[in-house]
Structure formats: C-alpha cells, structure tokens
Amino acid sequence: MSRVIVIGGSGHVGTYLVPALVELGHEVVNVSRGQAKSYTHHAAWKHVEQVSADRTAEEEAGTFAERIVGLRGDIVIDLIAFKLSSTRPLVEALRGKVEHFLHCSTLWVYGHNAAVPAGEDDPLNPFGEYGIDKAEIEKWLTHEARTTGFPATIFRPGHIVGEGWVPISPLANDKIDAFSRVARGEKITLPNLGLETIHHVHAADVSQVILRAITNRSAAIGETFNAVSGKALNLRGYAEALFRWFGHEPKIDYLPADEWKKWQPTPEEAHHSWEHFSRSSCLSIEKARTKLGYEPAYTSFGAVQESVAWLIDNGKVEKPTAWE
C-alpha cells in the first residue's frame, strides 16, 4: 500500500476519507493546523500521523512545499488549495517525487452553463473570486498533467453535506434558521419560481470519488471528475420535500429575485443566497461512473436529511412538532 499525505484532512471530507484510507491499508499523514477534529469518531484516527502546519504562514515563508516533500508521500491529496500561488510551488516541488496528486476544486468553476447537467468537458464560465481562482488552478494543473506528465487528478465537489454540517437550505444559503422555520410549519418565500438548482453531495461520496481515483489511477491521471449526488434539487422541490418530511404541507410564496433579496435579514445573507441560486448548479456524474465506477450512496435530499437530523438531535434545529 501507499503512504498518503492528506493536506487539510481534519475537515468534513477528511472525516470520511482519512479513516477509509487507513482501512484500505494505507499509511496516512494528516497535515492540518491542528485546530479542528473530525466530525465523527473513528478508531482509525489513532493510526494516523498528525502533522501540524499553518499553510498560509509557511507558504509566505516559502517552506510549505518542501515540508510536504519531506513527508515522502507516494500520494498527495490537497483539500485546501484556493489559489494557483498555493498549488504551483507544491507541484513544482513534488515533480518526480510523487505517484499521484489529487486536487480538490469546486462546482463553482462552471459558473453559468449553456446546458445541464454540466459535464467535465463543458466550457467553464466562472464568476466571483472563488470560482475564478479555482478554475485558474484547474487550467494550469491540467496543462501540467497533459504536457509534462505530472500525475494530477482534479475532483469538483458540490455543496458538501453530512453530520455536523449545515446544508445549503431551500433559501440557497447556510443559515440554520431556515430549517427551524420549516420545522415550525412557517411559510417561506423563494426567489423567482423556485426552479433554480443546487447540487449537494455527502462528504462520504466525495471521499468515494477520491478513493476510486486512487484505485483506478491509470484512468484518473490527467482527468477531472464531478463529485456530486446523482441529481440536483431545485429550490421548490427541495422546500416541498423538507416541509413534508417535517410533517407539514408546503407553505411557499415566491418573489422576483431582486425583490426577494430586499426582504432578506441582511445584505450579506441575500448575497450568499444569490451566489448559489445565480449559478443554478446541476452536474453530471456520468464520467465518474464510467471511468471510476463511482455510485453515490446518498441522494441530495438523503444527504440533507442526515445532516438536519444530526442538527435536530444536537439542539441546533428545532424538532418538528409532528416528530414529538
């Protein structure tokens, strides 16, 4: 088996990825700031080598890439690179010293799509700093893989969900109060006709894509894979399913988006929602299914249900009266 370096493995994806790598027999090193713990307990963590590193500070000092090289990994999985200025020095330092490099991108590289579901070879039209920066990393990393043979694979998660995490709600943001409002049976108002889409994915399924890319290395090198559930949810269908799960008939109004934004609690909250519904993400997983054998264990709504049930059990979302 391989020695696997996971950069940022204490986060939500790492909660599922790191124990799975250990169970497969890999030697695993988790590189993180040491300020977070995995969201769920797993005995495999006691077998993980923990390396504390402040990536931002070490990148500014010019020492981070060599620190990773010094860990002598066969495989490096970078879950927390957000700018090309982070990825390029790491790749240059790892050339000829690593068998597989996996980079976590985002569905936001797509921006606006001419047709859906969007496939990995469709044009990227990112907008906003996060999507633009991630697309820049992808473009450069893909070029390096195809022209210099650097063994890179890119995966694009959707809106990540799982225990301990607040899902993007039918209001297209991560404000937890939306779930309590629906639990109480209160009316909610959606932008436009509620037909914009958001595409969730359970963190365990993102982990599955990574594991399958490692197992199917020859099919994964130089390729990009969407890491989402089988189907996106539109805001209306999502809201209706949530109401009914909580034991209520749906109570939904609609407003044109510009008017809807004015009624949100804060401009920041309105903008956060707009960031999601303006992209109306809907991605295809056919390539990951065909090349890697990926099959998500969770539907979008199933992943949301697990997350929200955890939030209810932990007193963060009100328990629906119908559940009493």
**Are the C-beta atoms of 272 and 174 separated by less than 8 Å?**
yes
* Closest to 287 in 3D by CA, of 162, 101, 156: 156
DSSP single-letter state for residue 263 = T
Cα separation, 140 vs 314, whole angstroms:
43
Q: pTM of this prediction? A: 0.96
Q: What pLDDT sits at residue 39?
A: 59
- pLDDT beyond 90 at 70: yes
* Closest to 163 in 3D by CA, of 42, 307, 294: 307
Q: What are 86-112's pLDDT values in tens digits?
A: 999 999 999 999 999 999 999 999 998
Q: What pLDDT sits at residue 300?
A: 98
Q: What are 308-318's pLDDT values in tens digits?
A: 999 999 999 99
**Average pLDDT value for residue range 149-174:** 97
The count of residues in the chain is 324
**Average pLDDT value for residue range 35-53:** 81
**Average pLDDT value for residue range 18-30:** 97
Q: What are 159-168's pLDDT values in tens digits?
A: 999 999 999 9
